[in-house]
Amino acid sequence: MRPALGILGGTFDPIHFGHLDAVDAARTALALDEVMLVPAHDQPLRTVEPRASVCERFALAVLAVQDRPECRVSDMELARTGRSYTEDTLGALHRAGRQPSQLFFILGSDAFAGIADWRGYPALLDLAHFVVIARSGTAIEDATRRTPELRARVSPATGEQADCTGATRIFLVHADTRDVSSTAIRERLARGGSIDDMVPGAVARHIHKHHLYRAVNSLHGENERV
């Protein structure tokens, strides 16, 4: 049987500690063997175009997990033309030999609250387990306010590896993830501020070196070595 695979999709414009905290929370809660990050080419529910190119966003994701052997970055959505739909990505993984019960799609509780708007809903939830990362104190009622019929599918995350043979479930994971957003990072860079507390060092260096998001190359000393 293939290992339990976590999947974290996103625009990653840029990737940040909040994304990585979600990865860590999901791995700990469900004992995932590996996690695949999937940068989106054209996210259908995003109202603002990405500020960095697909190549730069992919490169930043690779840099963010370069010291994490349990993580890898896939270009499957970047190489696919048209909108980046989760339904298509999970379907591609099925065709590659993965079973739905072996897949664990990771997303935040805010994104899950709008799951009814995703293409393929509700059959989409049969294509993988959904791992909903919620902050401490967030009840499942908050994450499923628009879709109360899904509450019966929710299972607790016990810290042991979930069943990779049965029906897909929704796992609610309470986690203390850092309050970081890509928008806040871009705004701070535009003001000339430091983002060292928001992204891994390799990501910050790449952003400054290549002047992404209007960043200036103001790195000195140790930070100049890349």
What pLDDT is attached to residue 81? 81
- Cα distance between residue 1 and residue 93, in whole Å: 15
What pLDDT is attached to residue 2? 66
Ranges of residues in the chain with a pLDDT under 50 are 218-226
Strands of the sheet with 154-156, listed across from one edge: 71-73, 34-39, 5-10, 103-108, 129-135, 170-175, 154-156
What pLDDT is attached to residue 44? 74
Say which residues have a Cβ less than 8 Å from residue 222's Cβ, sequence separation at least 6: none
Name the residue type at position 55: C
What pLDDT is attached to residue 197? 97
Q: Which domains does the chain have, with CATH numbers?
A: 5-175 (3.40.50.620), 182-224 (no CATH)
Output the pTM of the full model.
0.90
What pLDDT is attached to residue 45? 64
